[in-house]
């Protein structure tokens, strides 16, 4: 792929549905594809300090079926699928000695593509339009995002996916749009009919106000998984009451609470961490036509707990709020109208503690959604430590310190 010597390379990868939800099957069919795409992006970087961007659109069957609507019904299966893709991205980067997100590396982001609208290109679902992380083919193709190239596997199912996508994505409709490029020599497979584990289907409540918390220092794929899962919990567009705002609140640990962290001198500031968090959420949720002006950002300073916040209105009806937290609970015990809490499986005890505190106040319990931790069990022994260090903010800071000493 040719690349502008100034602008960083950017690409979209269209992935047909996997044969099953098994990580072994993911690896068998997707690893060769990712390896070739990453090689192309590295060639385009040509040793520069720019960071290439890759959006991975994984098409899945049944995203509009009753078993997956709202997405909270199939949350466990969907978040595991996203985890599989990010884990595989990490594995490929380790194998090829590629930095993730850092200058000279590749910044990958996963979105879910409604496969029903791909199989029938005339199908456009109003509820999926413009709001991710689940989008339909029309929304993705007409979002105005400037990919230099759109990759797809040169297999029958990959060609069908590219044909459906290109029926919406044309140079006339998307000025400066990139070209579609097939990836040769990729394995052939039959997509699975359903990738939702029946025993994991739950009732699926609608949540207009969702919260999660974390440090979000030196953004990495673990953060991306957690935030994508949170976006899946937020109720879909079109299901809210008239005038109801859909809000994701991210409790971002305040600088004062991080003084005793290892390599604290290399911590990003609260403002930097909020901006990277907001930018990522915007990139996986906002697929509307490009705005003339960037999203409005409001800085809020109030007295009392959680008084400082950064608020981003990314589209009418969607607000991102990054709130400074200075205690273990943050806004969960100061904002009664929150309805759902997202935690990692490492921090599941925190969800129980939050609901105990809310019960003391006579408030409604938050529905707690657990997100998998990115596994490293399949990483070869020689790459295990390197993989772990790339999804640990502490190890990223340590590497920054070591580089500063050279």
Q: For the residues 81-100, what does the mean pLDDT come to?
A: 91
In what order do the strands lie in the sheet containing 10-15? Answer: 134-135, 106-114, 52-60, 10-15, 149-153, 179-183
Q: How would residue 201 be classed by pLDDT, with cut points 50, 70 and 90?
A: low
Smallest CA-to-CA distance from 232 within 199, 251, 252, 204 is with: 204
pLDDT value of residue 384: 47
For range 288-313, the mean pLDDT: 83
* Per-residue pLDDT tens over the stretch 21-65: 999 999 999 999 999 999 999 999 988 889 999 999 999 988 877
User: For 207-246, what is each residue's pLDDT tens digit?
Assistant: 999 999 999 998 999 999 999 999 999 998 877 788 788 9
Compute the average pLDDT of residues 89-106.
Answer: 87
Of 134-138, 182-186, 287-291, the range with the highest mean pLDDT is 182-186
Q: What is the mean pLDDT of residues 253-265?
A: 72
Cα Rg, the chain, nearest whole Å:
21
pLDDT band at 265; cut points 50, 70, 90: low
E-strand ranges in 236-362 read 246-253, 296-301, 308-315, 318-325, 340-344
CA distances from 157 to 59, 189, 253 (A): 11, 8, 44
CA neighbor of 248 nearest in space, from 222, 284, 218, 219 = 284
What average pLDDT does the segment 181-190 reach? 94
Sorting pLDDT into bands at 50, 70 and 90, what band is 1? low
pLDDT at 99: 83
**What is the pLDDT at residue 172?**
45
pLDDT of the residue at 241: 80
Q: pLDDT value at position 131?
A: 80
3-state secondary structure at position 175: coil
- pLDDT band with cut points at 50, 70 and 90 for residue 274: very high
Q: What is the dihedral of CA 200, 30, 177, 236, to 10 degrees?
A: 0
Class of domain 205-371: alpha beta
Residue 124: the pLDDT is: 52
Domain ranges within the chain, ordered by starting residue: 10-194, 205-371
Query: What mean pLDDT, rounded, does the chain reach?
Result: 85
Give percent of the chain with pLDDT exceeding 90: 53
Whether the predicted pLDDT of 168 surpasses 90: no
Residue 257: its pLDDT value, please?
75
pLDDT of residue 295: 74
Q: Does the structure show a pLDDT above 90 at 188?
A: yes
pLDDT digits over 332-349, tens only?
999 999 999 999 988 888
33 membership: H or E segment, kind and range: helix 23-45
Q: Give the model's pLDDT for residue 62.
A: 82
Helix (H) or strand (E) holding 376: none
Do 10-194 and 205-371 share a fold?
Answer: yes
* Better-scored residue on pLDDT, 398 or 340: 340
- Return the CATH number of 10-194, one of 3.40.50, 3.30.70, 1.20.120, 2.60.40: 3.40.50
């Amino acid at each position: 792929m040719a690349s502008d010597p100034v602008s960083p390379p950017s690409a979209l990868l269209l992935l047909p549905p996997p044969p099953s939800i098994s990580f072994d099957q993911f690896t068998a069919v997707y690893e060769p594809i990712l390896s070739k795409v990453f090689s192309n992006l590295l060639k385009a970087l040509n040793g520069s300090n720019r960071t290439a961007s890759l959006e991975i659109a994984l098409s899945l069957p049944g995203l509009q079926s009753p078993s997956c609507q709202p997405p909270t019904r199939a949350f466990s299966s969907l978040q595991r699928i996203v985890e599989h893709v990010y884990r595989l991205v990490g594995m490929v980067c380790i194998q090829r000695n590629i930095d993730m997100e850092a200058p000279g590396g590749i910044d990958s982001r996963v979105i879910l593509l409604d496969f029903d609208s791909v199989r029938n290109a005339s199908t456009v679902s109003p509820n999926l339009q413009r709001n991710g992380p689940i989008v339909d083919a029309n929304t993705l193709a007409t979002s105005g995002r400037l990919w230099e190239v759109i990759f797809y596997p040169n297999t029958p199912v990959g060609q069908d996916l590219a044909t459906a996508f290109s029926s919406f994505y044309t140079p006339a409709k998307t000025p400066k749009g990139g070209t579609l490029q097939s990836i040769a020599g990729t394995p052939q497979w039959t997509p699975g009919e359903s990738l939702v584990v029946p025993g994991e289907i739950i009732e699926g409540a609608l949540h207009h106000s969702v919260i999660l918390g974390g440090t979000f220092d030196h953004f990495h794929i673990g953060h991306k998984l957690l935030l994508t899962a949170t976006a899946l919990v937020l109720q879909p567009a079109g299901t809210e009451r008239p005038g109801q705002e859909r809000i994701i609140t991210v409790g971002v640990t305040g600088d004062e609470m991080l003084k005793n962290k290892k390599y604290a001198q290399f911590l990003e500031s609260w403002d930097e961490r909020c901006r990277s968090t907001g930018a990522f959420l915007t990139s996986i949720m906002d697929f509307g036509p490009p705005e003339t002006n960037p999203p409005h950002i409001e800085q809020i300073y109030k007295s009392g707990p959680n008084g400082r916040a950064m608020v981003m209105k990314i589209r009418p009806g969607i607000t991102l709020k990054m709130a400074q937290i200075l205690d273990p609970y943050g806004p969960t015990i100061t904002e009664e109208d929150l309805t759902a809490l997202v935690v990692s499986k490492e921090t599941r005890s925190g969800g129980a503690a939050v609901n105990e505190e809310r019960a003391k106040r006579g408030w409604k319990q938050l529905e707690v959604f657990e997100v998998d931790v990115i596994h490293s069990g399949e990483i070869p022994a020689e790459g295990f430590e390197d993989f772990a260090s790339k999804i640990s903010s502490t190890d990223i800071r340590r590497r920054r310190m070591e580089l500063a000493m050279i």
